[in-house]
Structure 1
């Protein structure tokens, strides 16, 4: 048994647990401060870099179980390293990190799409309340309390910031940056105009809702028109992988030189590189359609 590698893995697990515990304590302290209606400016140590802010939004959308999912590649990598050596352990950890990153990106994108589809209905409900005498801020607060996930928690986070002393449009701007939903900036701009100039801001919010409805309809139509192109891209990406698994499963002796011979290693590395390059090119092509 590789004792140093095992001790290193245990030390990293303990460090990850300590960091997770500190993050939970910091979140609990922030929640208590928001409940008291207090707002204290963050200390310089609490200021997070932009990439961490962008990552924290999808993690918050996916729920608390994803905050500790990063420990799984480390644990599996340590186990593989103990059984097979440093190289299998590193390969296992890197593969698990890539798999979790892809799965997290897919789930986060799905949640952002659901929140974007909920936003026009939320704005239309705001317009109906504003037309009977409510202010936009009051309508926002009332409808946000009744909005289901995933959009509801984002809006209620903005409300918590407003209770703590922040401007609602600023909190929505931060939410748009954190969750990657540009449509929230339109809502923030409408609330900013209503707060500064008054008039009939519900008309502006109604036009924003109509714009978002039109964008969603156009997006749905575009997805329907490009479904064949995207299906062809998926088939072309998965076909070589499927053939490789079929080859290794049906005739392992025929494919054994790719794993045992140095020349086979080079050929296999070249095939994997070409497959990744082709997948990236097909992805860019489908995005440009």
Structure 2
């Protein structure tokens, strides 16, 4: 049995990684996570609320203060296109990295990995995917941490609302209930409610503080909480009863999402099988007939056919993601 070319193995593994990554982004999503379109709608509503209040965007104000503390070079890098969105994503992930440093780290790692792959294999279509994949690794890590933090926050939110209701019944003011939640709970819920309490305690009004919470945690559940509190401040009413119903509604929503995820498990498993079949067959061919695939890879027409097939597979993965996301 002849030896399998190393560049063939590297290309095969790169394609497997790309396919699994794209599919996992559509299928392995947090149960309580919000879709990107929902978060965009929430941000647009935030801008409308702040504009109606004749108040500047809180995130913009904080960012301007942050840029003033940087050196001219760092400030210029932080103001590059898309850098503000990346900085907000890093903050929502619970990290304190500077956005330009994360981007520079990805560029350095990607260029280094691509150059190394080029020096070893002398094949551009191996070096380019390797560089692209390595460049995205820091950003993927931050995105995954952000999704996990959102999920942990929403899982702990019903218990936090119950604690607020108990504190309100005991006679504590609303501001003090936020401090109690920050002290008695752990994780993202305690951190975010602690920031909201500090925002109010340092002189900001409740409306701006709650909108800041929604800006940091753009999800439908937080939007319901913020809307309930703001309406109560404008019209009055029994806030305890409203928060109790909201807590019950969130728990019911979680139960429904778990049920939907269980019912859609067959579709997600079918997606994994469909994506895995080509790679399993390719691995079987490499093991049983090692001289077969190198003929295809070394031929220029064969390379074009492989790239076209991989592109068609990526389209199929994106279509499967769309179908599964509709189901979930």
Query: TM-score if structure 2 supplies the norm length?
Result: 0.65
Deviations 1:131-171 (A, max 9, x none): 11112221122112332113222222323333343334433
Q: Could you tell me which residue of structure 2 aligns to residue 74 of structure 1?
A: 108
Deviations 1:193-246 (A, max 9, x none): 333334321111111111111111111111111111111112212332333344
Which secondary structure state, in structure 2, belongs to the residue aligned with residue 150 of structure 1?
helix
| Match of residue 156, structure 1, among 194, 197, 211 | 194
Distance 2:326 2:220 in 1: 20
- Shift in alpha-carbon separation, 1:100–1:258, aligned structure 2, 3 A: farther
Q: Could you tell me which residue of structure 1 aligns to residue 95 of structure 2?
A: 63
2:275 is the alignment partner of 1:237: yes
Deviations 1:77-107 (A, max 9, x none): 2254156259455432211234554454344
Contact 2:109–2:134 under 8 Å retained in 1: no
Distance 1:269 1:169 in 2: 54
Any runs of at least 4 consecutive aligned residues in structure 1 with deviations exceeding 6 A, and if so which? 47-50
- Shift in alpha-carbon separation, 1:95–1:164, aligned structure 2, 3 A: same
2:264 is the alignment partner of 1:226: yes
| Match of residue 306, structure 2, among 241, 247, 268 | 268
RMSD after superposition:
3.2
Which structure 2 segments of 5+ residues have no match? Answer: 1-60, 68-77
Distance 1:49 1:157 in 2: 28
- Shift in alpha-carbon separation, 1:247–1:77, aligned structure 2, 3 A: farther
Contact 1:173–1:188 under 8 Å retained in 2: yes
Query: TM-score if structure 1 supplies the norm length?
Result: 0.73
Q: Could you tell me which residue of structure 1 aligns to residue 55 of structure 2?
A: none
Aligned residues, how many?
Answer: 250
2:158 is the alignment partner of 1:120: yes
Distance 1:51 1:127 in 2: 40
Contact 1:130–1:136 under 8 Å retained in 2: yes
- Map 1:42-61 → 2, pairs under 5 A: 42=62, 43=64, 46=67, 52=83, 54-60=85-91, 61=93
Contact 1:53–1:178 under 8 Å retained in 2: no
| Match of residue 97, structure 1, among 123, 135, 151 | 135
Q: Could you tell me which residue of structure 2 aligns to residue 28 of structure 1?
A: none
The range that moved more, 50-59 or 195-204, is 50-59
Distance 1:218 1:242 in 2: 36
- Shift in alpha-carbon separation, 1:175–1:263, aligned structure 2, 3 A: farther
Contact 2:158–2:250 under 8 Å retained in 1: yes
- Map 1:136-215 → 2, pairs under 5 A: 136-215=174-253
